[in-house]
Amino acid sequence: MDQLNHSQPVNTQAQTYKWSRAHLYNVLSSGKKPILTQPELLAAFQLVDRARFIPATNISDAYNDIDLEVGFGQILDSPVTIAHMLSALQLESGAKVLDLGTGSGYVAALL
């Protein structure tokens, strides 16, 4: 089983993933009814790289809108699901959140 190492950069082919990451951000933040409208969430999704929170075996799907297994029986929800969930919280700066079942840590990093 792959161990996650958040302190080291993910070994990816940058050209392959830059478009996909940008496309995912575009899907979440634009259109007639964007999912992400809060500036803080927009910034978080732009800064936090989902690829750093998944095992190398799933790296090719890092920016696809699908649930991913992260090991130890944990699933990382799809980015659209996470965006809806965090948007629904309507968090304000300085809010405290208890994130139970953190799994990979991706949602906690976004918060």
Q: Lowest-confidence range among 3-12, 19-28, 80-89?
A: 3-12
| pTM over cut 0.85 | no
Kindly give, in sequence order, each residue whose CB lies less than 8 Å from that of residue 84, ignoring residues fewer than 6 positions away. Answer: 35
Residue 13 has pLDDT above 60, yes or no: no
User: Which tens digit of pLDDT belongs to each residue from 33-58?
Assistant: 889 999 999 999 999 999 999 999 88
DSSP character string of 83-97: HHHHHHHT--TT---
> What angle, 0 to 180 degrees and rounded to 10, lies between the N-to-C axes of helices 39-47 and 14-29?
170
Rounded-to-10 torsion of CA 106, 43, 61, 107: 20
Residue bearing tokens 């990816």: 12
Note whether 91 and 40 are within 8 A (CB).
yes
Q: pLDDT band for position 10 (50/70/90)?
A: very low
User: Which tens digit of pLDDT belongs to each residue from 55-110?
Assistant: 998 888 899 888 999 888 889 999 999 999 999 999 888 889 988 887 889 999 99
H helices present in the chain, as ranges? 14-29, 39-47, 79-89, 106-110
State residue 31's pLDDT score. 82
State residue 51's pLDDT score. 93
